[in-house]
Amino acid sequence: MNYRFSDASNNTPKSFIREILKLTQSDEIISFAGGLPNKAFFPIAAIEAATVKVLENDGANALQYSTTEGYLPLREFIANRYKSRGVHVDPKNILITTGSQQALDLLGKAFLNKGDYVCLERPSYLGAIQAFQMFQPQFQEVDLTATGIDLPELEQQMAAKQAKFLYAIPNFQNPTGLTYSLESRQNLAEYLKRSGNLMVEDDPYGELRFIGEHLPNVYSFAPENVILLGSFSKVCAPGMRIGWMVANDAVMERLVTAKQASDLHTPILTQRILAQYLADNSLDEHIKTIQAAYFEQRQAMVEALHQYMPEGVTFTEPEGGMFLWVTLPKNCPAMSLFPIAVKHKVAFVPGEPFSTEGKTSYDIRMSFCTVDAATIVEGVKRLAAAIAELTNQ
Ligand code: PMP
C-alpha cells in the first residue's frame, strides 16, 4: 500500500527525545535525558482519594460529555492562583487543555498558515517546534542571552519576517534553564505593545523556582499581546494531561473552536479529580516539597560539573525548573559525544533537536529532576570520562 501522507506529516520528524529515551531505558544507564518529573512526588494516595470522592459524589456528571472551555471550579482555581500573585485573570479567559502541549497545537490551528514565520528563542523547546511544524511554518530563531531574548534582534526579525508570534519560555527555559530578568520582561512587553505583536509565553516551570524571587509573567505587563500557557504536569502529575491557556476574549473564541475540532474537551473525569485534589490538599505545600528536592539535585549537578568537567566546558546555573545546559569545547560535538556517553552508561540530549537551523551543536541538555543527588554525581563523573575519551585527554 502506498500511503499518501500529508506534506505536514512527511515534513515533521519523529520526536528525537522519544527515540533517545528508548535507547536509555536500561537500568544501568544514568539518564539526564528525559524531562520526566520525579515520580517520587506524585500524590498517589491523594489522587486516589479524590477519584473515589468524585465518583461517589457526582460520578454520572464526571463521566458525561462536558464543555470545551473546561471545568469551571478548576479555571477558578487557576484564576485565584494568578490573583495571589497580583495578576487579574477572569476564569472566562482560561481554557483547559490536554496538557500545554495541546495548547501549542491549538495555537498552530488558530494562527498559522503554511509559510508563516514564527520567532523562537535560540535554542527552543523541541515539542513546540514539532507541534508548530505540523502547520508548515518557517522558523526564525533569535538569540537567548543570560537575561532574556535579544530584543533588538527580535524587533528586527519580527518586522522583517512579519512573524505571526514569538514563542518563548521566560522561566527556567527548556532546554537552557535560563530566566528573563524583570527588566527584560518589561522591555519585551513594551515592545509588544508598541509594535502590536503577539507573544506566546509558555510557563510550565514558573512555580518551580528554588533560588531568588518570583518574577511576574510578561503577560502581566501586556495582557492583550500575550497568550500565556500553564500546566499541572510539573507541579502535580504529567499523566493527568491538564494544562491551560490564558487569552483575551477575541482569541479565546478562536481557541475554543479549534479545541472543539480537536477533542471536544479535555477529559472531564481527570479535570474533576484534579479539582477535588486541589480543594482537599495544599498545592503550595506540595510544590515546596518538589522545590526542595529539585534544589538539592540541582546543587549536586552544579557542584559535580564544577568539580569534574574539564577546562573549556561551561554550563548554566538555573534558579528553578528541571534543566541545565552544558556547552562543550569545539572538539566535542554533542552528537559524537552521545554514543560514547551511552557506552559510559550516561545519557543526555544533544542540542540539535532544540533548533530548527540544522547546525552541529556543542551543547547538551541535562535534566536534574529525575535522579537523586548521589546518582547525579556518578553520572557527571561518567560524562567527564566520555568527554575525555572523545577529546583524547
Ligand atoms: N512546554 C514546555 C516548555 C515543556 O517543557 C513541556 C513539557 N516538557 C510542555 C510545554 C508540555 O507539557 P504538558 O503537555 O505536559 O503540559
* pLDDT tens-place string over residues 104-161: 999 999 999 999 999 999 999 999 999 999 999 999 999 999 999 999 999 999 999 9
The C-alpha cell at 218 is 510578561
HSE-up of residue 131 (Cα within 13 Å, Cβ side): 20
Shortest-distance atom of ligand 1 to CA 103: 14
13 pLDDT above the threshold of 90: no
Q: What is the pLDDT of residue 222?
A: 98
Mutate which of 125, 126, 171 for ligand 1? The one with the most ligand atoms within 8 Å of its CB, which is: 125
The per-residue pLDDT of the chain, averaged, comes to: 95
Distance linking the first and last C-alpha atoms of the chain? 52
CB 375 within 8 A of CB 358: no
Exposure string for 6-26, b = 16+ CB within 10 A, e = fewer? eeeeeebeeeebeebbeebee
The C-alpha cell at 92 is 472566562
pLDDT digits (tens, 9 = 90+) for 161-187: 999 999 999 999 999 999 999 999 999
Percent of the chain with pLDDT over 90: 92
CB 324 within 8 A of CB 368: yes
Give the pairing of strands 346-347 and 349-350: unpaired
pLDDT digits (tens, 9 = 90+) for 226-282: 999 999 999 999 999 999 999 999 999 999 999 999 999 999 999 999 999 999 999
**Residue type present at position 148:** G
| Over residues 43-51, mean pLDDT | 98
12 pLDDT above the threshold of 90: no
* Best CA proximity match to 225, nearest among 256, 196, 254: 196
Counting every residue, how long is the chain? 393
Query: Which of 33-47, 72-86, 105-119 comes out lowest in average pLDDT?
Result: 33-47
Cell 482519594 locates to 49
Q: What is the pLDDT of residue 25?
A: 74
- Closest residue to atom 5 of ligand 1, CA basis: 174
Measured distance CA(48)–CA(32) in Å, rounded: 30
ipTM greater than 0.95: yes
Q: What is the pLDDT of residue 17?
A: 67
| Over residues 342-351, mean pLDDT | 95
Measured distance CA(287)–CA(236) in Å, rounded: 8
For 91, 333, 335, the CA distances from 311, given in Å and listed in that order, are: 51, 15, 20
The C-alpha cell at 62 is 464526571
Measured distance CA(51)–CA(211) in Å, rounded: 34
15 pLDDT above the threshold of 90: no
Number of Cβ atoms within 10 Å of the Cβ of 393 = 10
Supply the pTM of this predicted model: 0.96
Q: What is the pLDDT of residue 16?
A: 66
Shortest-distance atom of ligand 1 to CA 125: 3
Taking the centre of ligand 1 as the mean of its atom positions, its distance from the CA of residue 101, in whole angstroms, is 6
Measured distance CA(54)–CA(65) in Å, rounded: 15
Measured distance CA(296)–CA(276) in Å, rounded: 30
Mutate which of 100, 200, 228 for ligand 1? The one with the most ligand atoms within 8 Å of its CB, which is: 100
Ligand 1 neighbours, Cβ below 6 Å, are 35, 99-101, 125, 127, 169, 174, 202, 204, 231, 233, 238, 243
Measured distance CA(389)–CA(385) in Å, rounded: 6
pLDDT digits (tens, 9 = 90+) for 177-221: 999 999 999 999 999 999 999 999 999 999 999 999 999 999 999
CB 356 within 8 A of CB 139: yes
HSE-up of residue 42 (Cα within 13 Å, Cβ side): 13
Q: What is the pLDDT of residue 157?
A: 98
Q: What is the pLDDT of residue 277?
A: 98
48 pLDDT above the threshold of 70: yes
Mutate which of 105, 174, 201 for ligand 1? The one with the most ligand atoms within 8 Å of its CB, which is: 174
63 pLDDT above the threshold of 90: yes
Measured distance CA(33)–CA(366) in Å, rounded: 6
Q: What is the pLDDT of residue 137?
A: 97
Q: What is the pLDDT of residue 34?
A: 84
Q: What is the pLDDT of residue 211?
A: 96
3-state helix, strand, coil in the chain (%, to 5): 50, 15, 35
| Over residues 9-24, mean pLDDT | 73
